[in-house]
Amino acid sequence: MARCESLDGSPGRYWHRLDDGRIQCDLCPRYCRLREGQRGLCFVRARRDDRMVLTTYGRSSGFYIDPIEKKPLNHFLPGTPVLSFGTAGCNLTCKFCQNWDISKAREFDRLTDRASPQAIAEAAAASGCRSVAYTYNDPVIFLEYAVDVAEACRARGIRNVAVTAGYICEAPRVEFYRHMDAANVDLKAFTEGFYKKLCSSALAPVLETLEYLKHETDVWFEITTLLIPGENDSPRELAALSEWVMDRLGPDVPLHFTAFHPDWRMLDKAPTPPETLLTAQRIARDVGLHYVYTGNIHHESTQSTYCHGCGARLVGRDWYEITAWNLREDGRCRDCGATCAGVFDGAAGHWGRRRAPVSVGTRRLI
Ligand code: SF4
C-alpha cells in the first residue's frame, strides 16, 4: 500500500476494522487492508485519523460536454449532450488502459477543478445537458461524491450515467445504482485469466454486476468490450461472451465491440483490425443479440441501429452523429411498430459529435 503524506479527505463509506489493527475497504472486491496513513490500490481512498476517507471528493480533472454516444450509449436519449467528468485513480490496473493519464494519476495537481454537487447540476442544466456522466475514471472509487452529485442532478431533472468496469461489492452496488439512470459497463474479456493477468482483478464480480443491473434495477445499460489482438478476440471467446449475454441478460442489451490502440503498458500490440470487429459483430448477432455495434472505427453501417422486427435502419450514426432517424416518439419502428429497447424521449437530439469544455465551480491555478 502507498503511504499518504497529507490528505484532505471526506468520510468514506463501506469499511470495517480488522482484529490486527488494519481497516478493510469493502467498496470493491480488492478489499484493501490499510494501516494508518496508507492508501488503497485505487490511490484515492485512504486511512486517515483511523477512518476511511475519499481524498478526491469535490475535485475533478475537468468537465466536458460530450455526445451521449461517446460513452458509448446508443439507446439512451440519442443525440443529446452529456456533461462528463472524472477524478483520478482506478481500482483496476489494466495494462491496456485507454484513459491512463487520468486513471493512473498519482499527482493530484491534475485535479484542477473544484465543484460542489449543486454546481455540477446547475452547470448541466445551464448548458442544456440531459444527463451527467461519471466517466474518464471509474466512479465506483469516488462513490460518495458521485452519489451526492447524482442527487443534486435528479433534483433538477438531470439524469445520471455511469461508465464503469462494474467491479464493486454487493452493498455499495445497491447504493450506487439506485442513483444511476444508465450505465455502460466494460466487460473486458470473458476469461478469468485475462482479468487476472491484464487487470489484476476478476471476471465474476463484473458478471454479477451485469446480472444485478438486468434483474434487480431499472437502470438502462449497455456493454463494451475492447478487443485486443491475441488476448480476448478469439471466435470461441467471443461466442462464449455473446451466448452468456443472450442467456443471462437477453437479446436487448446492446453490445459494443471497440477497437484497441496501443497505450499505457501495452505498446507491443497492433491496433485491432476492423475485420476482427466485424467478425465479433457477426458472432454476437448470430446468437440472437439485437443490437451489436462496432466502435473506434469509421464504419457507419455497423454503428447504426436496425429494427429486430423488420430490419429497417432505425438510427443512422456516423461516429457520434445521428444521420438518420426512423423511430416514433415512443421508440417504436416507424415501419413495423416493433419496440426498440432503450430510453427514448421524442426525437433525437442535435448535439452531434462535438466536445466542449465547460467551466464548473472554481479552477485552481497550477
Ligand atoms: S475501492 Fe480502492 S481502497 Fe477500496 S478496495 Fe477498491 S481499490 Fe482498495
Helix (H) or strand (E) run with residue 184 in it = strand 182-186
* 45/216 Cα distance (integer angstroms): 28
Which atom of ligand 1 is the closest one to the Cα of 34?
Answer: 3
| Secondary structure (3-state) at 279 | helix
Torsion-angle region of 301 (φ positive above 0: left; ψ -120 to 50: alpha; else: beta): alpha
Residue 218: partners with Cβ closer than 8 Å, 6 or more residues away: none
- 323 Cβ contact partners less than 8 Å away, ≥ 6 residues apart: 300, 316, 317
Ligand 1 pocket member 54 (CB < 6 A): no
Low-confidence ranges of the chain (pLDDT < 50): 2-7, 365-366
**Nearest ligand 1 atom, CA 46:** 3
What's the CA-to-centroid distance between 352 and ligand 1, angstroms? 37
Which residue in this structure is represented by grid cell 438502462? 220
The finding on whether 165 has its CB within 6 A of some atom of ligand 1 is no
For the range 36-42, what are the long-range contacts, defined as Cβ-Cβ under 8 Å and sequence gap of 24 or more?
37/3, 37/4, 38/1, 38/2, 38/3, 38/4, 39/1, 39/2, 39/3, 39/4, 40/1, 40/91, 41/1, 41/91, 41/93, 42/89, 42/90, 42/91, 42/141
Question: Measured between alpha carbons, how far is 344 from 53 in angstroms, rounded to an integer?
Answer: 38
For residue 143 and ligand 1, the question of a CB distance below 6 A is answered with no
| SS3 state at 317 | strand
- Of 92, 18, 94, nearest to 269 (Cα)? 94
Q: List the one residue out of 126, 146, 144 whose CA is nearest residue 136.
A: 146
For residue 164, the CA-to-ligand 1 centroid distance in Å is 14
91 pocket-lining for ligand 1 (C-beta < 6 Å): yes
Contact indicator for 102, 142 with CB cutoff of 8 Å: no
DSSP for 60-129, please give it: ES-EEEEEGGGTT-SSBSTT-EEEEE--S--S---TT-SSHHHHT---GGG--EE--HHHHHHHHHHTT-
What is the grid cell recorded at 366?
Answer: 497550477
CA separation (Å) from 307 to 104, 220, 313? Answer: 40, 18, 6
Write down the pLDDT at residue 101: 64
Q: Which amino acid is it at 142?
A: F
DSSP 13: P
CA 232-233-236 angle, 5° bins: 95
**Substitution candidate for ligand 1 out of 41, 54, 168 with most atoms within 8 A of CB:** 41
Ligand 1 center to 31 CA (angstroms): 6
